[in-house]
């Protein structure tokens, strides 16, 4: 009989895809007692999601892996759309330059590589490892324990799977297991299945918090009886990652190509791969009777060939393929008690809007730091409610966007396929939808609402920044060495809240005295919130950003909260930054204050959450108001002795 064991964890993450790993990153980074399980025996190596928007790359920059994505991935700068002209001749109809949002453009890279980088970031900061080949068998939730932060209201039974159970033969597509020879060098160790416990072991696990990142068919969601509303459409798409042999000239641009036989969506990728999305039925054939199981790689090839014609199209190398039935569904909620859902467990939609991976990673990023800080006993449990209020409305917007856009896309496609010019009203409707959703779809606006974490009533010391939105990235120079850095990287995701002391022009004597007075206030504030045993900047980190010319400023012009010497610690030289142009033009432009809308003389204060979202803003004199904002978030401490 299989052995049964019992154990406890503060946080359990179910599913080690992109959203689960983003959440796990925070556990690793904050030193939370956590576990991560995944039912599959190995990580993903090939295929799956692949599109990263610039805002997602900013997150990856803040955890130190954006450079790896750019090194391996394919950045996309140009998008084209092909269709038949009035004579039925296929031609390029629209070319769009995708204006990147600095510091990053859009990039495409296989999900397996993105997971590799996240796993490496986790390993760099902890011993947390994904336990693979483990499924949940039951989940019980004791509401009576919910209000006690020390209690374990969730009881799960977990079972360790055999190699066969953990790698079922896929109905379609290349099995990851058959590809061992071709996986990247640094993934090879992960092709071997390992188990923490013996096969068949059943473990009873008590958890304080659970984050379910287990995909569209989420086991966690089902255990919680949360309905998954919406429907599976009748559209069946083939997805192939191939090295194309073709004379189509735009193979390295993102694009769509439509003719009488249908449409392909084209996404250029790493290593000369290109992803094609292709509908597997002619328009008139779409019906529920279509037999998915009859689809072969050969039939997908023939469909793409037909649509790409008169361009030549073929391939020898297929890295991965699958068949995809578009479902547009949303979970009725993304949180129940102390169990949270993230990613595809909450929302599924068509691939046409290119947002799935991004929304999922942002979900995991959002819930991760909140659970980590609460589980560590640093933040109040009440901040956990903001996960629902911040992320659920975005899931609704996502599905709404997908619904509108897919309908219009279909209209346009049908018109094109009959070699008719696309109707003016269709084009106007598409443009309107794009305009209306642009800020959302690009990730520029998140609409996070008033909450303990977001003080919407802040003073507008930065006129172009909004509480509840991300800090707009700018490039600053370190006062310690002149080295320029984007704020996305400089304000590393390490679990700390950050106070940006926008010190203004510290050459002015009057301004300097405001800055020093503010510095004293901030030092008292850190002592008020930081546990006595910890370093003073372990919970909240103050960074000064001044607007005076780099060469006119010395570090000792700043108060001790950002620059002081300690015989045990030395000086922390990472805390003072200059918004000034670098002699090497492209490296920093000295326009950070301008981008943010901050007065270059007087500066201001900005409180940032660990995820680079703005929580609060005020004048240098508003430290008491800042303290009230932080009191809504952090657990109250005993008075800490003055230094």
Q: Which residues bind a second copy (CB under 8 A)?
A: 64, 67-68, 70-71, 74-78, 95, 97, 99-100, 102, 105, 120, 123-124, 185-186, 243-247, 249-253, 268, 312, 314, 478, 480-484, 551, 554-556, 565, 567-571, 573, 582-584, 586
Q: What is the DSSP letter of 546?
A: E
- Residue 120 vs 142, nearer CB to a second copy: 120
Separation CA 221–CA 452 (nearest Å): 27
| Residue in 279, 351, 467, 473 annotated catalytic | 351
Least Å from the CB of residue 55 to a second copy: 16
Least Å from the CB of residue 470 to a second copy: 20
| Residue in 141, 209, 277, 448 annotated catalytic | 277
Residue 258 near residue 94, CB atoms below 8 Å: no
Strands 78-84 and 4-14: unpaired
The answer to whether residue 277 is catalytic is yes
Q: How far apart are the first and last CA of the chain?
A: 60
| Residue in 50, 176, 250, 579 annotated catalytic | 50
Closest to 158 in 3D by CA, of 192, 133, 190: 133
Using H for helix, E for strand and C for coil, what is the string for 269-300? CHHHCEEEEEECCCHHHCCCCCCHHHCCHHHH
Least Å from the CB of residue 69 to a second copy: 11
Least Å from the CB of residue 275 to a second copy: 15
- Residue 561 vs 614, nearer CB to a second copy: 561
Separation CA 625–CA 623 (nearest Å): 5
CB atoms within 10 A of CB 244: 23
SS3 437: helix
Least Å from the CB of residue 443 to a second copy: 17
Q: What is the DSSP letter of 494?
A: S
DSSP conformation letters of 185-221: GGGGGGGS---SS-TT-EEEEEEEEEEE---TT-HHH
**Ramachandran sector of residue 31 (left: φ over 0; alpha: ψ -120 to 50; beta: rest):** left
- Residue 251 vs 601, nearer CB to a second copy: 251
Least Å from the CB of residue 13 to a second copy: 22
- Residue 216 vs 480, nearer CB to a second copy: 480
The answer to whether residue 351 is catalytic is yes
- Residue 9 vs 479, nearer CB to a second copy: 479
Least Å from the CB of residue 247 to a second copy: 4
Separation CA 375–CA 454 (nearest Å): 21
- Residue 148 vs 554, nearer CB to a second copy: 554
Residue 16 near residue 43, CB atoms below 8 Å: yes
- Residue 345 vs 557, nearer CB to a second copy: 557
Closest to 59 in 3D by CA, of 22, 28, 31, 27: 22
Separation CA 501–CA 498 (nearest Å): 9
Separation CA 177–CA 167 (nearest Å): 8
Contacts of 368 (CB under 8 A, 6+ apart): 22, 23, 24, 25, 26, 27, 211
Least Å from the CB of residue 480 to a second copy: 4
Q: Is the peptide bond between 103 and the residue preceding it cis, with omega within 30 degrees of 0?
A: yes
Q: Which residues of 419-440 are buried (b: 16+ CB within 10 A; e: fewer)?
A: beebeeebeebbeebeeebeeb
| Residue in 29, 221, 269, 328 annotated catalytic | 269
Which residues are part of the catalytic machinery? 50, 269, 277, 351
């Amino acid at each position: 009989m299989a052995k049964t064991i019992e154990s406890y964890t503060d946080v359990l993450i179910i599913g080690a895809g992109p959203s689960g790993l983003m959440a796990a990153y925070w556990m690793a980074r904050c030193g939370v007692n956590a576990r991560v399980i995944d039912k599959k025996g190995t990580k993903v190596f090939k295929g799956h999601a692949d599109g990263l928007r610039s805002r997602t790359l900013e997150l990856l920059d803040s955890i130190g892996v954006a450079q790896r994505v750019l090194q391996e991935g394919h950045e996309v700068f140009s998008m084209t759309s092909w269709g038949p002209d009035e004579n039925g001749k296929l031609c390029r109809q629209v070319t769009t330059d995708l204006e990147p949002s600095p510091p990053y453009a859009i990039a495409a890279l296989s999900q397996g590589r993105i997971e590799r980088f996240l796993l490496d970031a986790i390993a760099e900061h902890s011993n947390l490892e994904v336990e693979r080949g483990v499924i949940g068998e039951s989940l019980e939730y004791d509401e009576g324990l919910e209000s006690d932060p020390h209690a374990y209201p969730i009881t799960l039974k977990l079972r360790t799977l055999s190699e066969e159970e953990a790698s079922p033969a896929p109905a379609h597509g290349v099995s990851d297991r058959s590809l061992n020879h071709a996986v990247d060098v640094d993934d090879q160790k992960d092709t071997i299945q390992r188990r923490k416990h013996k096969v068949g072991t059943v473990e009873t696990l008590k958890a304080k918090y659970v984050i379910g990142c287990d995909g569209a068919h989420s086991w966690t969601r089902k255990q919680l009886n949360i309905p998954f509303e919406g429907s599976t459409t009748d559209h069946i798409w083939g997805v192939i990652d191939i090295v194309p042999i073709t004379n189509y000239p735009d193979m390295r641009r993102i694009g769509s190509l439509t003719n009488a036989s249908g449409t392909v969506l084209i996404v250029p990728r790493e290593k000369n791969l290109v992803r094609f999305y292709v509908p597997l039925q002619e328009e008139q054939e779409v019906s529920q009777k279509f037999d998915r199981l009859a689809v072969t790689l050969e039939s997908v090839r023939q469909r793409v060939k037909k649509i790409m014609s008169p361009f030549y199209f073929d391939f020898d190398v297929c890295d991965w393929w699958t068949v995809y039935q578009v479902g547009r569904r949303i979970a009725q909620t993304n949180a129940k008690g102390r169990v949270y859902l993230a990613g595809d467990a909450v929302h599924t939609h068509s691939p046409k809007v290119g947002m799935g991976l991004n929304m999922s990673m942002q979900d995991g990023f959002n819930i991760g730091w909140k659970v980590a800080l609460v589980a560590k006993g640093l933040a109040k449990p009440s901040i956990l409610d903001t996960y629902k209020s911040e992320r659920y409305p975005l899931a609704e917007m996502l599905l709404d966007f997908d619904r509108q856009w897919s309908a219009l896309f279909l209209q346009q496609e049908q018109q094109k396929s009959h070699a008719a010019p696309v109707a003016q009203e269709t084009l106007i409707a598409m443009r309107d939808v794009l305009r209306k959703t642009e800020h959302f779809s690009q990730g520029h606006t998140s609409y996070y609402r008033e909450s303990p974490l977001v003080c919407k009533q802040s003073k507008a010391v930065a006129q172009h920044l909004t509480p509840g939105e991300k800090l707009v990235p700018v490039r600053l120079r370190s006062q310690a060495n002149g080295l320029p850095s984007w704020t996305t990287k400089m304000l590393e995701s390490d679990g700390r809240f950050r106070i940006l002391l926008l010190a203004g022009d510290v050459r002015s004597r009057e301004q300097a005295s405001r800055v020093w007075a503010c510095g004293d206030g901030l030092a008292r504030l850190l002592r008020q919130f930081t546990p006595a045993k910890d370093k003073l900047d372990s919970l909240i980190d103050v960074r000064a950003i001044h607007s005076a010319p780099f060469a006119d400023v010395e570090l000792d012009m700043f108060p001790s909260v950002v620059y002081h010497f300690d015989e045990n610690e030395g000086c922390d030289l990472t805390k003072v930054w200059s918004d000034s142009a670098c002699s090497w033009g492209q490296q920093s432009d000295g326009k950070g204050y301008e981008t943010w809308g901050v007065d270059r003389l007087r500066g201001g204060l900005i409180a940032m959450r660990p995820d680079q979202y703005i929580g609060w803003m005020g004048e240098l004199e508003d430290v008491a108001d800042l303290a009230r904002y932080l009191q809504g978030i952090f657990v109250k401490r005993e008075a800490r002795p003055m230094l």
